[in-house]
Amino acid sequence: MLRIHRLIITVVLFLSFNVFAAININPGLTGAWYNPETSGQGFFIDAIAENQQLFIGWFTYLSNPQSNEHQWYWLTAHGNYIDGVAELTLVKTTNGQFDMATTVENTVVGHASISFDSCLTAVFDYQLDEFNLAGQIPLTRLSPDVYCAENLNSEPSDPLAKNFPPVVSQVVITQLNNAIQIEYDLTDSEADRSEVNLEVLYGLNSSYSLPVTYLSGHVGYPVLNGNNKTIYWDYLNDSGFQDLQIDQFKLKITADDKYVSTLQDIIDSVSEERIIEDIQAIEGIRHHQAFPMGLNNTRNYIKAEMSKHKLLVEEQTFIHLGSQGVNIIGTLNAQPATDEVYIIDGHYDTVSSTPGADDNASGTAGMLEAMRVLSQFNTMKNIKFIAFDKEELGLIGSRYHAANLNQNELIKGLINFEMIGYTCSGQPECVNFPNADTSIYNIKSSFANTLSETFVQIGATHVPELKITAVTDDGDRNFRRSDHAPFWDLGVDALFLTDGANFRTPHYHQTTDKLGTLDTTFTTQVVKTAVGTLATLAQIHHTGYAVSDTLEL
Ligand SMILES: [Zn+2]
C-alpha cells in the first residue's frame, strides 16, 4: 500500500542504521512505514499507549505452499510492547466483502516482532509459518515525524549501567530434504539487535564458519530478540562444507550485539565513588567475638551487592574453633562453558579492635567494584569474586576454600587484594616506615609469571599513574601473610597486591584505620589495573554462544 511519496526519507535509512540505540515504543511511532528497497513492503503501525499494544496492518500478495495459489491477503500483527520491543501474533483475514455484513475468517499464520532504532527506522522480524517464510524487513517511516519522541526512551546513557551480551539457547537442528533447519532462541536484556553467525564444529577440535551465501532466515545482521528463530542452510550447495566430507557435526550459533568497548573504556569505568561507598558501608569492627553484628552486616552487604549483578552467589560455610565462618562467592560463568577459572578476592573480617578501612574494607571494596565492571561482559574463563572470612585468624577461610575445590575446576590465576588503600609520601607519620612510598606491591610466586607480568603491562599502558613494585616470593614469611598463600601451595599463579601493611601504614590493626586516612584514588588505580588484567586474561567479549547436539547426516 505504501510506496507513495517522500522517498527522501530513503537517504536517512542506512545512515542511521548502524546506530543501535533502540528506543522505547511510544505512540509517536504511529503512522505509515515501508521498506524503500522493495516495492510495496508497507505497513500501517499504530502504537496504543493505554494498553501497551502495537497493531500493524497491511495488504500483501502471498503464495500458498499447499495450493500454490497466489493471492492477496489482509494481514495484521498485534501484541504487547515492553520497552523497545513488541512481540506480535500474525493473523490473516479472508472472506468478507466491501461494505457488506459478511463474516470474515481470521487465522493465526505466524508471529513477528518489531523494534525501533529511532523515530525513523525499525526492523520487522517475521515468521509466516503457513507460508514457509521468515526474515526481516528494515523499515523507514513514511508519515511525517509528527511527535515521535525519542526522549521517551528510558535507556540509561551510562554504558556501564547495563548492557548485557545476548544469550543464545534452545538450539535444535534438523535435516530436511534439501536443507538443514536450525532453530534457536535469542535473548538480549536491552533488546539490542545481534549479528548471528554459524560455525560447524567437527572432529576433535575443528571448525568451519558458514558463509552467509548458503544461509537464509534469522542470520547475519540484524537479528532481533525473540524465540523460535529459524535459519535454513543450503548445505548441499555449500562447497566449502561438502569438501570437508564429514557426516556428523555440531553447530555453534554466535550472537554479537555489537556493543563495543575498548579495554580503556572498561578500565575507566571503575568508579572511585562506588569504592568509597563500599568502604563506608563496610568500615567498622568485623570480628566474630568483638562485634559479630559488624561481620554479619558486612556479609549481607556483600551478598546484596553481588546479587545486583549477573552472578551465581553462594555462601561457603565452615566452622573454626566453634564459630562459623562464611566465604561469599559470586561466580561469573564463562560463555561457552569451561573449567578454567580466575579468582579475585579480598577478606572482609578484621581483628577485634579496628574499623579496618584499609585492612581490608579496601580490598573487599576493590573486589566488589571489579565484580560490577566485569560482570557486564561474557568471558571465555569463569571469574569468581570471593570475600574470604577469618583471614585474621590465620587465613582460615581461604585455606578452607583451597582445600575444598571443585574437582573439575582449574584455577588459572588469583588476584588477592590485601590492603590497597594506604599511600604514604612525605607525611610526618611516614618517617618510621622504610617503604613509605606510593606504589602497589605486586608480589608473585617463584613459579609463575603470567599474572604479574600482565598486571605490570596493563598498568603501564592503561593506568600509567599507578606505580607498581614487582616482587618475587623469596620465602620471606611476610609474603605469605594473606589469602593467596594457600593457593601458592597448590601451584596456582596467585598475585598478592598490597600497600605494604605494617611496613607502610601506622594505622595497621589500630583504631585509627579509617577511610579518612586512605588514598582512594590509589585504590581505584589498583582496581583498574586488576580489572584490565582479568578482562585480558579471562577474555571478555560481548557475544553469546550456544552449541547444538550432534547431527548425523
Ligand atoms: Zn588483612
pLDDT at 432: 64
Between 221 and 423, the more confident residue is: 423
pLDDT at 180: 96
CA 414 – ligand 1 centroid, Å: 16
Domain range summary for the chain, segments of one domain joined by +: 9-152, 167-259, 263-540
The answer to whether 545 and 201 have CB atoms below 8 angstroms apart is no
Q: Parallel, antiparallel, or unpaired: how do β-strands 180-187 and 167-175 relate? A: antiparallel
Cβ neighbours, 10 Å, residue 349? 27
Residue tagged 606505580 (cell numbers): 467
Is the pLDDT at 152 greater than 60, yes or no?
no
Give the H/E segment covering residue 7: none
The answer to whether 46 and 76 have CB atoms below 8 angstroms apart is no
Cα distances (angstroms) measured from residue 409 to each of 37, 367, 381, 383, 493: 52, 21, 11, 11, 14
Strand partners, 105: 94
Is the pLDDT at 542 greater than 90, yes or no?
no
**Rounded to the nearest 10 degrees, what angle do helices 292-307 and 363-374 cross at?**
10
Strand partners, 6: none
pLDDT at 293: 96
Q: Parallel, antiparallel, or unpaired: how do β-strands 105-116 and 85-94 relate? A: antiparallel
Q: What is the pLDDT of residues 258-298, one digit of tens each?
A: 776 788 989 999 999 999 999 999 999 999 999 999 999 99
In sequence order, which ranges of 311-437 are alpha helices (DSSP H)? 363-374, 396-403
Q: What is the pLDDT of residues 339-362, one digit of tens each?
A: 999 999 999 999 999 999 999 999
pLDDT, mean of residues 132-152: 71
What does the block give as the cell for 345? Answer: 578476592
The SS3 call for residue 455 is helix
Mean of the per-residue pLDDT values of the chain: 87
Is the pLDDT at 154 greater than 60, yes or no?
no
- Rounded (10°) CA dihedral 500, 503, 504, 505: 100
CA 409 – ligand 1 centroid, Å: 26
CA 462 – ligand 1 centroid, Å: 27
Q: How far apart are CA 487 and CA 492, in angstroms?
A: 5
CA 418 – ligand 1 centroid, Å: 6
CA 309 – ligand 1 centroid, Å: 26
Is the pLDDT at 41 greater than 80, yes or no?
no
Q: What is the pLDDT of residues 297-333, one digit of tens each?
A: 999 999 999 998 878 999 999 999 999 999 999 999 9
pLDDT at 260: 66
CA 269 – ligand 1 centroid, Å: 26
Is the pLDDT at 419 greater than 90, yes or no?
yes
CA 514 – ligand 1 centroid, Å: 14
CA 124 – ligand 1 centroid, Å: 56
Q: What does the DSSP 8-state code read for residue 224?
A: -
CATH architecture for the domain at 167-259: Sandwich (2.60)
pLDDT at 5: 36
Cα distances (angstroms) measured from residue 164 to each of 255, 269, 392, 541, 543: 12, 15, 37, 10, 9
Q: How far apart are CA 436 and CA 478, in angstroms?
A: 17
The answer to whether 226 and 175 have CB atoms below 8 angstroms apart is no
Is the pLDDT at 14 greater than 80, yes or no?
no
CA 360 – ligand 1 centroid, Å: 5
CA 471 – ligand 1 centroid, Å: 19
CA 373 – ligand 1 centroid, Å: 24
The answer to whether 56 and 78 have CB atoms below 8 angstroms apart is yes
CA 347 – ligand 1 centroid, Å: 7
The answer to whether 385 and 379 have CB atoms below 8 angstroms apart is no
Cα distances (angstroms) measured from residue 524 to each of 20, 319, 427: 31, 34, 21
CA 208 – ligand 1 centroid, Å: 50
CA 400 – ligand 1 centroid, Å: 17
CA 499 – ligand 1 centroid, Å: 11
Q: Do domains 9-152 and 263-540 have the same CATH topology?
A: no
CB burial of residue 105 (10 Å; 0-12, 13-18, 19+): exposed
Options 2.40.128, 1.20.1440, 3.40.50, 1.10.3470; CATH of 9-152: 2.40.128
CA 353 – ligand 1 centroid, Å: 13
pLDDT at 374: 94
pLDDT at 221: 84
Q: What is the pLDDT of residues 518-537, one digit of tens each?
A: 999 999 999 999 999 999 99
Q: How far apart are CA 65 and CA 497, in angstroms?
A: 67
CA 16 – ligand 1 centroid, Å: 53
- DSSP for 301-329 reads HHHHHHHTSS-EEEEEEEEETTEEEEEEE
What does the block give as the cell for 189? Answer: 536484556
Closest CA to 432 of 500, 497, 482: 500
CA 533 – ligand 1 centroid, Å: 22
The model carries a pTM of 0.66
Report the CATH fold assignment for 263-540: Aminopeptidase (3.40.630)
CA 130 – ligand 1 centroid, Å: 66
Q: What is the pLDDT of residues 171-224, one digit of tens each?
A: 999 999 999 999 999 988 777 788 999 999 999 888 999 998 899 999 988 888
CA 308 – ligand 1 centroid, Å: 26
Q: What does the DSSP 8-state code read for residue 134?
A: E
Q: How far apart are CA 391 and CA 388, in angstroms?
A: 7
The answer to whether 376 and 164 have CB atoms below 8 angstroms apart is yes
